[in-house]
Amino acid sequence: PWIAPECVDNSLSNSNTADQWSFGVTLLEICNNGDVPLSGCALSKGNFGTVTLYLYDPANDGTGEYVAVKALKQGNDSGVESWIREIKILKSLKHINIVKYKGCCTEMGGQVVQLIMEYLPQGSLRDYLPTHKLSMAQCLLFVQQICQGMNYLHSQRYIHRDLAARNVLVENDKLVKIGDFGLTKYIPDGQNYYRVREDGDSPVFWYAIECLKEGKYSFSSDVWSFGVTLYEILTRCDPRQSPPKKFDEMMDSTQEGITLVALIKLLEAHTRLPCPKDSPHEVTLLMQQCWSADPAQRPSFQGLIDRFESIHR
């Protein structure tokens, strides 16, 4: 678990020296530091990676800073290329509402590559919201910031493809940042969608109807996922109202198995997630617009920012 100090140098091409330093003491595993009031060093095991909390302390005198280190899950060799792509994408993104890249690090002659990013102490929105009583105004501030981050991402011609409360990270009660660029794709100029055929790991309950039916991902399909994220925020990520749970309740239970077929059928019949209890009328309307069957009818993130600004005022 020790990581070489020289690794943290904002470079992807340092595989030669890393091994010699893998017993350095610059990045300390937090669970070895008894007086830090944190729950443990493993922040999470997501679908694709594991995220661990470290103390980056080059002077080795306790003046360091916490960093979150993401590694590709063991045994996921097929994902190495997309893992390197994820790191390069994050490195290129600079926005207050996008998690900050700090560096990367290779070990074992380049066999293991780790992504080092700023640590957001409150974890993901999915963990934060159920345990913190947020007012509607605070929720809408977060929503506005997600739109700002997404608007920037789209201006760089990237689509996120995994926007969800679990991938929005919380700095404090006034600041959130978008994370997890594992499924992000670049849309070249002149093109407006990206076609993917994927296996069973896709976050289907966050996906727009054209993604499910045709594997067609676009700026507008991110807006659909934003609508689902907005739903999660308005329900304060209550697990009893989660998108998979709600869709499951609405789906035809006589049609065994094939969730995807049942989900497409539901969406084609214009069934959508229910309106969260205390959602302001204007916000509900915006959310429903994000779920328009026709991608062209959905707002852009810039459009959403303008609308939320006028609601917030």
Q: Which residues, 32 to 91, sit near Mg ion by CB under 5 A?
A: 46
Query: In 3-state terms, what secondary structure has residue 298?
Result: coil
Nearest to 226 by CA among 313, 123, 156, 308: 308
Q: Pick from Mg ion, ligand ADP, none: which does 284 bind, CB < 5 to 8 A by kind?
A: none
Of 124, 144, 148, 202, which lies in the binding site for ligand ADP, with binding defined by CB under 6 A? 124
Contact 248, 210 (CB under 8 A): no
Marked catalytic residue, from 35, 77, 162, 252: 162
Contact call for residue 169 and ligand ADP (CB under 6 A)? yes
49 is in an annotated binding site: yes
227-254 burial by CB neighbour count: b if 16+ within 10 A, else e?
bbbbbbbbbbbeeebbbeebbeebbeee
Determine whether 305 is exposed, middle or buried from the number of CB atoms within 10 Å of its CB (0-12, 13-18, 19+).
middle
- In angstroms, how far is the first alpha carbon of the chain from the final one? 48
Contact call for residue 241 and Mg ion (CB under 5 A)? no
Q: Which residues contact 109 (CB under 8 A, 6 or more apart)?
A: 15, 18, 19
43 is in an annotated binding site: yes
Contact call for residue 182 and ligand ADP (CB under 6 A)? yes
**C-beta of 189: minimal distance to ligand ADP in Å?**
28
131-139 long-range CB contacts below 8 Å, 24 or more apart? Answer: 132/173, 134/173, 134/236, 136/278, 136/280, 137/312, 138/173, 138/174, 139/233, 139/234, 139/236
* Residue 57 bears catalytic tag: no
Both tokens assigned to 13:
């091409």
Of 24, 123, 215, 244, which lies in the binding site for ligand ADP, with binding defined by CB under 6 A? 123
**C-beta of 44: minimal distance to ligand ADP in Å?**
3
Q: Name the one range near Mg ion by CB under 5 A: 163-171, 184-192, 200-208, 229-237.
A: 163-171
Of 120, 209, 267, 290, which lies in the binding site for ligand ADP, with binding defined by CB under 6 A? 120
- Residue 205 CA to residue 94 CA, distance in Å, equals 29
**C-beta of 201: minimal distance to Mg ion in Å?**
11
Contact call for residue 167 and Mg ion (CB under 5 A)? yes
- Tell me whether residue 48 or residue 217 sits nearer to ligand ADP (CB atom): 48
Binding site for ligand ADP (CB under 6 A): 43-44, 46-49, 51, 68, 70, 99, 117-120, 123-124, 166-167, 169, 179-180, 182
Binding annotation for ATP = 43-51, 70
Which residue ranges are tagged as binding site? 43-51, 70
Question: Which stretches of the chain bind Mg ion, using CB under 5 A?
Answer: 46, 167, 180
